[in-house]
Amino acid sequence: AGRPPSICERESCSRLGNAVALGMGRIAGAGALVAAAALCALGGVGATQFWVEPQSSRCISEELPEKALFTGDYSIDPTDEFVGNVKVLGPLDAVLFERQTSDPHHFSVTSMTMGVHKVCFSNESPARRRVVITLRKGLEVDDHSQMARKDHVEQIEKQLDKMREMAMAIKEEMIYMRGREEEMRDTNESTNTRVLWFNIMTLTLIGTMGLWQIYYLKRYFQMKKLI
């Protein structure tokens, strides 16, 4: 049979048990903090819903840094005879987005300055409306392709088509001007050549007429026996 434990051994076992319990408590606390952070992160991109009373407006705000992407998907229910608008306002109440529609839609803006940005829903209809909105900002925007909506793409395509037509028109104008320049250069060279030959012929004719006059006058004076 073994001997009974001494007082020192019992104290060591007690200290060891306390240390183990403290370590387990810290691990549990860290796990709780991680779980809470995960829940907060998941809740940050969740949908928010609220009611907007008739003839009133309601806003929700988000703190954004400078040049941060801010997107949202919203719906307004019921949609019958809805009168109102949706606005995204910057820190100085500058309108970054505005639309008058009750259909489920999407907005995407970029903050110009740091500060509180507001998304406001105005209800001018006689019945209250339920708003459901999901906001994302910065790194929470996992699909940046949502910025390129169909209407934006169509506008960009129209601008590109217009720029392409302008470029083609400028190219054709440059080709036409180059052709005109070559024609004018050929015309100038031909004119200069003709003027040169005309001057040579004129000088030859004048010289020939001068020599003929000298010869004629000399014979005339000889016939008259003046010389």
Find all residues with CB under 8 Å of 62, minimum gap 6, and list them. Answer: 70, 116, 117, 118, 119, 135, 137
Question: Tens digits of per-residue pLDDT, 16-29?
Answer: 445 444 444 444 44
Inform me whether the pLDDT recorded for 40 exceeds 50: no
What band does 7 get if pLDDT is binned at 50, 70 and 90? very low
Find all residues with CB under 8 Å of 179, minimum gap 6, and list them. Answer: none
Question: Tens digits of per-residue pLDDT, 126-183?
Answer: 888 899 999 988 777 655 555 555 556 767 888 898 899 899 989 988 998 999 999 9
Inform me whether the pLDDT recorded for 13 exceeds 90: no
Q: Are 103 and 24 in contact (CB under 8 A)?
A: no
pLDDT at 39: 37
Find all residues with CB under 8 Å of 187, minimum gap 6, and list them. Answer: none
| 77: phi then psi, degrees, rounded to nearest 5 | -135, 135
% of the chain with per-residue pLDDT over 90 = 36
- pTM, 2 dp: 0.44
Question: Tens digits of per-residue pLDDT, 200-222?
Answer: 999 999 999 999 999 888 888 88
The residue that leads in pLDDT, 157 or 49, is 49
Rounded to a whole number of angstroms, the distance between the first and last alpha carbons of the chain is 177
